[in-house]
């Protein structure tokens, strides 16, 4: 088998398709971000990207949901693809687009080995206390109902990078992946001990268009008393809730610039849920040594970081505000005497994806 060094990574998110060509030193040789609208991939732009590439040894695709079956990256064959299709109901906003991307890129770059890298894999060894729901055992065993967790590739990279920046392998880390989708992870010694997303990527924090956690009785009530069907509920929770549902705009930076009541309330709810969830993650760790912000919002919206630091000052989180406002990843924005280090780290899911492809295929 030929040595694999240069890997094309295909990262299907809920709002964008991120393409990277990465070499063995994690250097990005080429890149393009393509906006995604309602799960539709712009085939022409994707084709232009693949046509201009030089050497490519393998393709690695980010797959959001691996279920119980996939706890590590795998080579994609017909059987694997069929199993991934069965998981579509658990990640309807992501899984179909990722499968479409696998097919499109395979047509454009035929003959290359294809690797699936799973967001759920990083969380697959969470303690039972963190992963189990208080539901009947029959349901949990029969249907595989448990907390799977997501954004694992981002949480893995950001926590590893934090350990490197702070030169301490024993730190207790909460990673805040804040983008169109958002989740937290409590990480120590390279392992996820808890996370905010659950059985699907819908649970947890308030997101751009997703509701995050809600009382399940609300959904039952809407079905029983308001006559709202399952399809409408699913569509609304995924695509018309969160910041968009509360204030008509999915962008928290733009909402902060508005003075109307709906915008203020949406931002307040977003920040309240975020701070409460970070505090909960520290309980899984028994304390906090490093708080990491990554993702589009985490890296670019300094007011979010300021609010979190103020709210969680009692945990020892304090940031240097001038440094925070002008922060560019990867950097430590803490005050010199802060008990908790606060870091801004660029999201690099492509790094663990390319690494896993090389390991599977016998590369460096």
d(CA 342, CA 298): 11
If you search the block for the tokens 């992870």, which residue do you land on? 185
d(CA 181, CA 15): 9
Q: 81-109 burial string, b = 16+ CB within 10 Å, else e?
A: eeebeebeebbbbbbebbbbbbebbeebb
d(CA 344, CA 143): 38
SS (H, E, C) 55-99: CCCEEEEEECCCCCCCCCCEECCHHHHHHHHHCHHHCCCCHHHHH
Instruction: Tell me if 5 sits within 8 A of 23, measured CB to CB.
Output: yes
Per the DSSP assignment, residues forming a β-bridge with 118 are 63
Q: What H or E segment, with its residue span, contains residue 278?
A: helix 261-285
Instruction: Tell me if 119 sits within 8 A of 64, measured CB to CB.
Output: yes
Residue 119 falls in the annotated catalytic set: yes
d(CA 18, CA 349): 10
Instruction: Tell me if 155 sits within 8 A of 173, measured CB to CB.
Output: no
Q: Is 122 helix (H, G, I), strand (E, B) or coil?
A: helix
Q: What H or E segment, with its residue span, contains residue 105?
A: helix 95-108
Catalytic residue (one of 33, 77, 103, 119): 119
Phi-psi region at 328: left, alpha or beta (left = phi > 0; alpha = psi -120 to 50): beta
Active-site residue set: 119
């Amino acid at each position: 088998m030929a040595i694999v060094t240069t890997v094309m990574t295909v990262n299907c998110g809920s709002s964008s398709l991120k393409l990277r060509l990465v070499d063995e030193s994690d250097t990005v040789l080429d890149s393009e971000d393509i906006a995604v609208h309602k799960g539709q991939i712009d085939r022409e732009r994707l084709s232009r990207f693949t046509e201009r590439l030089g050497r490519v040894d393998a393709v690695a695709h980010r797959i959001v949901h691996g279920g119980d079956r996939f706890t590590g990256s795998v080579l994609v064959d017909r059987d694997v693809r069929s199993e991934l299709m069965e998981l579509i109901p658990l990640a309807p906003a992501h899984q179909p687009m990722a499968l479409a991307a696998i097919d499109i890129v395979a047509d454009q770059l035929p003959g290359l080995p294809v690797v699936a890298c799973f967001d759920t894999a990083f969380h697959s060894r969470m303690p039972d206390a963190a992963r189990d729901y208080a539901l009947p055992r029959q349901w949990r065993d029969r249907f595989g109902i448990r907390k799977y967790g997501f954004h694992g590739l981002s949480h893995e990279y950001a926590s590893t990078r934090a350990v490197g920046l702070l030169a301490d392998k024993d730190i207790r880390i909460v990673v805040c992946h804040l983008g169109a989708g958002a989740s937290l992870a409590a990480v120590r010694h390279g392992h996820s001990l808890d996370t905010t997303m659950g059985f699907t990527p819908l649970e947890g924090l308030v997101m751009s268009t997703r509701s995050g956690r809600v009382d399940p009785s609300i959904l039952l009530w809407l079905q029983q008393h308001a006559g709202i069907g399952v399809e409408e509920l699913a569509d609304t929770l995924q695509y018309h809730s969160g910041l968009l549902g509360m204030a008509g705009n999915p962008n928290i930076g733009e909402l902060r610039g508005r003075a109307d009541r709906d915008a203020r309330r949406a931002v307040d709810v977003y920040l309240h849920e975020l701070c409460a969830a970070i505090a909960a993650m520290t309980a899984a760790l028994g304390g906090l040594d490093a708080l990491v912000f990554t993702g589009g919002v985490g890296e670019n919206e300094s007011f979010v970081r300021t609010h979190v630091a103020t709210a969680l000052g009692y945990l020892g989180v304090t940031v240097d505000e001038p440094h925070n406002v002008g922060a560019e990843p990867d950097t430590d924005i803490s005050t010199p005497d802060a008990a908790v280090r606060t870091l801004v780290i660029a999201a690099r899911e492509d790094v663990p994806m390319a690494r896993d492809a090389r390991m599977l295929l016998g590369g460096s």
